[in-house]
Structure 1
Amino acid sequence: MDAVILAAGQGTRLRPLTDDKPKGMVEVAGKPILTHCFERLIELGASGLHVVVGYKKQAIINYYEDEFEGVPITYTHQREQKGLAHALLTVEEHIDDDFMLMLGDNIFEANLQDVVNRQREERADAAFLVEEVPWDEASRYGVCDTNKYGEITNVVEKPDDPPSNLVMTGFYTFSPAIFHACHLVQPSDRGEYEISDAVDLLLQSGRTIDAIRMNGWRTDVGYPEDRDAAEERLQGEAETEPVQSGVSTTSSGGE
């Protein structure tokens, strides 16, 4: 399964950390956020990495070049920042089977393998990781509306009045059907083509979509304080890992 990583954004909320670099190159625990993303995706069996770049794209291309740990990298360019569905369409010609999608500003220590397994076993059109967040934070995300049975019935992007506090986390698996949905998406009130609207179109058309509750943690590195929180978590895990014979742990963090 190939993997798509969306890394074209300007990271305006992360300034001053992104004054001279794209947010995917901001370091957390000694390495860029994108390195954390790539490592997790390769652990999940990614056979190719398709990176959507935009703002200060050359910094990413020069750093990683054409492969990471032996896995080939393809770059596509989102020339205008028109939303995640718009960004995803830049890789359409490179994808012909099920694939993973990760937002390139998230750091995960969670059950991503469960999402991949569900996609492979059920042949769903989409599966994604969801989590409950504090109600006052839900409006920052794509919010999942549910029926009385707890089934997801639609997804709303950054609503002013969230229908629930169950949100999408930034890790998905899709069949190529998502590209058709992205082509049908209309600009939101924010003027962007939202990935949540594409997912909602799949739901409304009767496609099979599975939502997996998150077990573990993730940090959406949207603000400088989020970067600090992710670093503390990674370093804390590194410090508490059991010491194996001939191996010492450090506090420098890592997957």
Structure 2
Amino acid sequence: MQAVVLAAGQGTRLRPLTEEKPKGLVEVDGRPILTHCFEQLAALDAEELIVVVGYRAGDIVDHYGEAFRDIPITYTRQEEQLGLAHALNTVEEHVDGEFMLMLGDNVFEANLEDVVRRQRESRVDAAFLVEEVPYEEASRYGVCDTNGYGEITDVIEKPDDPPSNLVMTGFYTFSPAIFHATQLVEPSDRGEYELSDAIDLLIQSGRTIDAIGLDGWRIDVGYPEDRDEAERRLQEIAGNEPSTEAVHGTNDD
């Protein structure tokens, strides 16, 4: 499959780490967040990386160039950061069939291959990696409801009163049907074109979306302390002791 990576955001919550670089180039355990994403997608046999850039786009293009480990990179630009569905619309002309989608601010150590396998073998319209989080944290994410068959029946973006604690993790597979839905989405109360609203349109049209439970962990690197936690976990995997910088954070990367 091709793989789409959304990396256009400003990363305002990550400041001061993003004052002089885009969020995707903030380093986690010595490598940019996007490098972690690209490595995961390479391990899933991505045939092309389609990267949506925006804030400090030139920094990302200059860093990675035209390929990552012999996987060609195509860049599209989201001129205004108007939501994930808006960002996804920029890649439609470059996508040939079913594809992977990863949010470019996540670090995974998880069963991503199970999501890809479900898409390939079951021919569903989409499959999402989901996880259970504490209820008090669910309002930070897109919250899912599922039926007894493990199919997603509803998605609500950052609800004030979450109907469940099952949330999307930032890794998905889609059929091209998602593009028709993203084009129909209206701006939300936040003024953004929400991916969750496009997904809801897919569900309402009778499309099948499967939920795959997270086996492992992921860190949504939204704040400096999230970067520190991701570093700590990666260093544990590598058998290294976390450095003082990893625990307390620095502003020099």
Could you tell me how far 1:149 is from its partner in structure 2? 6.7
Q: Could you give the per-residue CA deviations for residues 3-58 of structure 1, whole angstroms, max 9, x where no partner exists?
A: 00000000000000000010000000000000000000010010000000000011
CA distance in 2 between counterparts of 1:226 and 1:215 reads 19
SS of equivalent residue, structure 1 residue 10: coil
Pair 1:147–1:71, CA change in 2 (3 A): closer
Q: Which residue of 1 aligns with 2:198?
A: 198
Could you tell me how far 1:94 is from its partner in structure 2? 0.3
| TM-score, scaled to structure 1 | 0.93
SS of equivalent residue, structure 2 residue 121: helix
Aligned residues of 1:101 and 1:174 also touching (Cα < 8 A): yes
1:129 maps to a residue whose letter is: L
Q: How does 1:16-165 map to 2 (within 5 A)?
A: 16-147=16-147, 151-165=151-165
CA distance in 2 between counterparts of 1:71 and 1:167 reads 30
1:17 maps to a residue whose letter is: L
Q: Which residue of 1 aligns with 2:249?
A: none
**RMSD (Å), alpha carbons:** 1.6
Aligned residues of 2:232 and 2:242 also touching (Cα < 8 A): no
CA distance in 1 between counterparts of 2:149 and 2:213 reads 15
Figure out how many residues of one structure are paired with residues of the other and give that number. Answer: 244
Aligned residues of 2:49 and 2:71 also touching (Cα < 8 A): yes
CA distance in 2 between counterparts of 1:164 and 1:29 reads 33
Pair 1:37–1:86, CA change in 2 (3 A): same
CA distance in 1 between counterparts of 2:114 and 2:149 reads 21
CA distance in 2 between counterparts of 1:52 and 1:102 reads 11
Unpaired runs of 5+ residues, structure 2, are 247-253
Aligned residues of 1:238 and 1:251 also touching (Cα < 8 A): no
Q: Could you give the per-residue CA deviations for residues 48-106 of structure 1, whole angstroms, max 9, x where no partner exists?
A: 00000000011100000000000000000000010000000100000020000000000
SS of equivalent residue, structure 1 residue 72: strand
2:82 maps to a residue whose letter is: K
Could you tell me how far 1:137 is from its partner in structure 2? 0.5
Could you tell me how far 1:221 is from its partner in structure 2? 0.1
CA distance in 1 between counterparts of 2:93 and 2:149 reads 38
Q: How does 1:177-192 map to 2 (within 5 A)?
A: 177-192=177-192
Q: Which residue of 2 aligns with 1:247?
A: none
Q: Could you give the per-residue CA deviations for residues 91-148 of structure 1, whole angstroms, max 9, x where no partner exists?
A: 0000020000000000000000000000000111100100000111100000002357
Q: Could you give the per-residue CA deviations for residues 154-193 of structure 1, whole angstroms, max 9, x where no partner exists?
A: 1000001100000000000000000000001111110101
1:180 maps to a residue whose letter is: H
CA distance in 2 between counterparts of 1:125 and 1:232 reads 36
Q: Could you give the per-residue CA deviations for residues 184-221 of structure 1, whole angstroms, max 9, x where no partner exists?
A: 11111101011111111111111011110000000000
Aligned residues of 1:84 and 1:193 also touching (Cα < 8 A): yes
Could you tell me how far 1:152 is from its partner in structure 2? 2.6
Pair 1:2–1:201, CA change in 2 (3 A): same
Q: How does 1:206-225 map to 2 (within 5 A)?
A: 206-225=206-225
SS of equivalent residue, structure 1 residue 140: coil
Unpaired runs of 5+ residues, structure 1, are 241-249
